[in-house]
């Protein structure tokens, strides 16, 4: 039986070890990396790290030679030891509505999508990915059809922000009149299955002397990984978004299979305990509108009951179709009637206008071609390649 493999995505020889990239290191890690490489003496490490930090995250430089206040020799040593290279941009698309989507390759076979949406948040939001693929299989989500390839590193998450900033020509990081004001972890993957790297990336992105996007403008969306919720709040102080989509366990289990592990009652208890929750820091509940599935007036009333007493806002997301999807989007009138019930009960419940649908950049449409090749298949391909 023949096996066809796209070998351009599956290198058969290990890539040469590349130099460590500094963009994914927290301040403390950066100082340590400089010491470990013998580039600075320990007593000078903090000062040097602060200096480099500003060049990397405030000015967005990709070349050590641009660091004009660092001695020439030191710049040369840094360049020999480390890199600041951006990942490769495989594809860039711009929607009719101004949404921009990048397909980024961070390593052989590791491709992720991220999306900039203008006029969202204070000025514009960047939707970043936390994993390549996803282990969860929500029935309405395109990413869910792609097997998990791996977690992204902190550097790969920060790189998405830097690529967007490059494209928006937003260096040095402005304090006012920004195009990019908000970050949402609503791209590919489940961020709470990659909390260490997500938390490190948020530390870097939120640092006031760098990209400086405040934690209150960073939202992490989860399908409901209950045991990690408190840690998320404590470690990141990020805003929380919950992909709810249904108000009873039997229905939620069919849409979000993770509900079998963490049913609604447990999820709601963990949300109520989320650190820092207040009227000023509300939880966002995401609710995808699926025709004939979860969009009746009774569903809306059940939602009101479920969220009683939780400082919350409900984002109604019209379902975005993708090739092969089994659901349909609710009719507009149905969505408006649903929203009206929530509004009357006192909930802010904006209907999220689909953005970038023409370039498959809207919620739940992201998917890269990266596939996890089974080791056995890869070995076979390698063997037949070297035999030919
Ligand atoms: N894994 C995380 C974050 C990524 S998904 C999570 O599930 O929360 C980001 C949001 O897009 C989630 O609320 C998800 O439910 C929603 N979504 C997924 N597929 C969608 C689709 N086809 N149409 C509209 N929203 C979708
Ligand atoms: Fe994964 Fe979120 Fe998509 Fe569910 S909605 S499959 S958790 S990315």
Q: Would you say 180 and 127 are in contact if contact means Cβ atoms under 8 Å apart?
A: no
- Give the mean pLDDT of 320-343: 94
Do 324 and 278 share a structural domain?
Answer: yes
- Name the nearest CA neighbour of 111 among 16, 9, 21: 9
Residues sharing a CB contact under 8 Å with residue 48, sequence separation 6 or more, in sequence order: 31, 34, 39, 40
How does pLDDT run across 50-86, given as a tens digit for each residue? 999 999 999 999 999 999 999 999 999 999 999 999 9
Q: What is the pTM of this model?
A: 0.90
Q: How far apart are CA 339 and CA 213, in angstroms?
A: 31
End position of a domain, from candidates 81, 112, 144: 81
* Structural domain count of the chain: 2
In a domain, 5, yes or no: no
How does pLDDT run across 176-198, given as a tens digit for each residue? 889 999 999 999 999 999 999 99
In a domain, 316, yes or no: yes
Do 308 and 217 share a structural domain?
Answer: yes
CB 13: neighbour CB atoms within 10 A? 7
Do 234 and 165 share a structural domain?
Answer: yes
Task: For residue 280, give its domain range.
Answer: 88-373
Do 335 and 299 share a structural domain?
Answer: yes
Do 230 and 116 share a structural domain?
Answer: yes
In a domain, 307, yes or no: yes
Q: How far apart are CA 183 and CA 116, in angstroms?
A: 9
143 lines ligand 2 (CB under 6 A): yes
Do 49 and 103 share a structural domain?
Answer: no
Q: Would you say 131 and 175 are in contact if contact means Cβ atoms under 8 Å apart?
A: no
Backbone φ and ψ for 242, nearest 5 degrees, come out as -115, 125
Inter-helix orientation angle 332-344/297-307, to 10°? 30
Task: Name the band, by pLDDT with cuts 50, 70 and 90, for residue 145.
Answer: confident
Question: What three-state secondary structure class fits 295?
Answer: coil
Choice among 113, 156, 190, 228 that is catalytic: 113
In a domain, 281, yes or no: yes
User: Measured between alpha carbons, how far is residue 154 from residues 26, 225, 281 in Å?
Assistant: 9, 20, 25
CA of 144 from ligand 2 middle (Å) equals 5
Closest-CA residue, ligand 1 atom 5, reads: 186
Q: What is the predicted pLDDT for the residue at 371?
A: 62
162 lines ligand 2 (CB under 6 A): no
Do 48 and 162 share a structural domain?
Answer: no
134 lines ligand 2 (CB under 6 A): yes
End position of a domain, from candidates 81, 105, 122: 81
Q: Is the pLDDT of residue 362 over 90?
A: no
Do 147 and 45 share a structural domain?
Answer: no
Do 76 and 100 share a structural domain?
Answer: no
Do 269 and 143 share a structural domain?
Answer: yes
Task: Name the band, by pLDDT with cuts 50, 70 and 90, for residue 357.
Answer: confident
Do 339 and 205 share a structural domain?
Answer: yes
Do 65 and 143 share a structural domain?
Answer: no
In a domain, 317, yes or no: yes
Q: How far apart are CA 290 and CA 293, in angstroms?
A: 5
């Amino acid at each position: 039986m023949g096996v066809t493999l796209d070998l351009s995505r599956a290198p058969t020889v290990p890539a040469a070890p590349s130099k460590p990239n500094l963009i994914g290191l927290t301040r403390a890690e950066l100082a340590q990396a400089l010491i470990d490489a013998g580039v600075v003496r320990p007593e000078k490490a903090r000062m040097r790290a602060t200096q480099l930090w500003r060049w990397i995250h405030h000015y967005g430089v990709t070349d050590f030679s641009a660091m004009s206040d660092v001695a020439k020799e030191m710049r040369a040593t840094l360049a020999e030891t480390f890199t600041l290279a951006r990942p490769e941009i495989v594809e860039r698309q711009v929607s009719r509505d101004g949404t921009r989507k990048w397909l980024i390759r961070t390593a052989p076979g590791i491709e992720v999508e991220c999306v900039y949406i203008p006029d969202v948040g204070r000025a514009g939001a960047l939707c970043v990915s936390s994993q390549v693929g996803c282990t969860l299989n929500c029935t309405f989500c395109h990413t869910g059809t792609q097997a998990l390839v791996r977690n992204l590193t902190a550097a790969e998450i920060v790189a998405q922000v830097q690529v967007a900033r490059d494209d928006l020509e937003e260096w040095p990081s402005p304090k006012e009149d920004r195009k990019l004001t908000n970050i949402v972890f609503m791209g590919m993957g489940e961020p709470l299955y990659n909390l260490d790297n997500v938390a490190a990336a948020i530390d870097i992105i939120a640092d006031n002397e760098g990209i400086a996007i405040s934690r209150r403008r960073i939202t992490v969306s989860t399908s409901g990984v209950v045991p990690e919720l408190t840690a998320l709040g404590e470690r990141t102080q990020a805003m929380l978004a919950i992909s709810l989509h249904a108000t009873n366990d039997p229905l939620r289990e069919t849409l979000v299979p993770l509900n079998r592990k963490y049913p609604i009652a447990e999820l709601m208890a963990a949300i109520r305990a989320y650190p820092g929750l207040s009227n000023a820091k509300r939880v966002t509940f995401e609710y995808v509108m699926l025709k004939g599935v979860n969009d009746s007036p009774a569903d809306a009333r059940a939602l009101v009951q479920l969220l009683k007493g939780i400082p919350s806002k409900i984002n109604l997301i019209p379902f975005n179709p993708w090739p092969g999807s089994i659901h349909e989007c609710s009719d507009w009138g149905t969505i408006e009637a649903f929203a009206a019930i929530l509004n009357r009960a006192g909930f802010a419940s904006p209907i999220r206008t689909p953005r970038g649908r023409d370039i498959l950049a809207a919620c739940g449409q992201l998917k890269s071609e990266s596939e996890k090749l089974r080791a056995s298949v890869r070995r076979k391909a390698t063997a037949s390649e070297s035999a030919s």
